[in-house]
Amino acid sequence: MSEPDAKKPDIALLGIPIEIGASQAGTLMGPDALRTAGIARVLDQLGFAVEDHGNLAISKVTPDGPPPANAKFYDEVKTWIRMLSERAYGLARSGAVPIFMGGDHSLSMGSVNGVARYWKEQGRPLFVLWLDAHADYNTPHTTITGNMHGMSSAFLCGEGGLDDLLGEQPRASITPDQLDLFGIRSIDPLEKKLVQDRRVAIADMRALDEFGVGVLIRRVIERVKAKNGVLHLSFDVDFLDPAVAPGVGTTVPGGATYREAHLIMELLHDSELVRSVDIVELNPFLDERGRTARVAVELIGSLFGLQITDRRTPTNAMLQGR
């Protein structure tokens, strides 16, 4: 995407107004808040052909049988995930870069599964960068709340407990070493043990403070490049500090700053690895005059190449005094 003469890929926007996977209502308004904040306009100004596919809407909810214990609103979430997984697969096959606008984080069980299915067919591993205050690595066996947005990354890594969620659709699980939990500052006790047992890479806020986001994001990038992989960015806006992004249902103090988040997005853009994106947990009902939606759109702009000054490789140019 950084080559001046290279054709930019198309971008496909898809809204997923799901809120049933979380405990706080309001994320169903997230997709339209991102539209109002100008996400399509920013991407268009960067030279991308943007197609807005509207909002996904589920059909009638039909139980397959008894739902798993400790998985609230399982049948409703299941219906969303099955439909979204198929749409995500189709969008990835089209060659566009899909941006899935949520909605709570349970949607990633469908978006990432569909995208991973496509890249598996291409013979390339899909890595997932989970920018989030929470690990979301619970299962029905470990969860305290039963909220399914807290089980999404575990499901993607093939953990048990939600084995029939996709029905007849292929389950394209990633391995735990293809997941990076980044910016974590809230994790349940049994969830923490599961993450440690699976050796999932985790950069908590102490690591970000100690080593800096630049060093840690470059480690992620180099690992993906070493495996000839591609990257899915799952961006929960509660990754940001509540002072920056108050419009979320599960605020946790001590999150990433505005500048740290922009640096992450700029480095990801420079890597040319990101091929799909989730934006989740934006809750306009809890926001301050659209502030969080505007910040999210600004960060997506950085992810897709918005810069203050023109430069090919910002870090190298600065080090060499140019």
| Residues catalogued as catalytic | 105, 132, 134, 136, 149, 236, 238, 281
Q: Which helix (H) or strand (E) holds 40?
A: helix 39-45
How many C-beta atoms surround the C-beta of residue 66 within 10 A? Answer: 7
- Cα–Cα distances (Å) from 277 to 70, 95, 111, 116, 227, in that order, read 28, 14, 9, 12, 20
Here the tokens at position 121 are 């067919």
Q: How far apart are the first and last CA of the chain?
A: 23
Instruction: Say if CB 217 and CB 270 are below 8 A apart.
Output: no
Give the Cα separation of 24 and 91 in Å (integer).
Answer: 29
Region of 10 on the Ramachandran plot (φ > 0 left; ψ -120 to 50 alpha; else beta): beta
CB-based contacts of 147: which residues, under 8 Å, 6+ apart? 21, 22, 23, 72
**φ and ψ at residue 282, rounded to 5 degrees:** -70, 125
Hey, what amino acid is at 131?
A: L
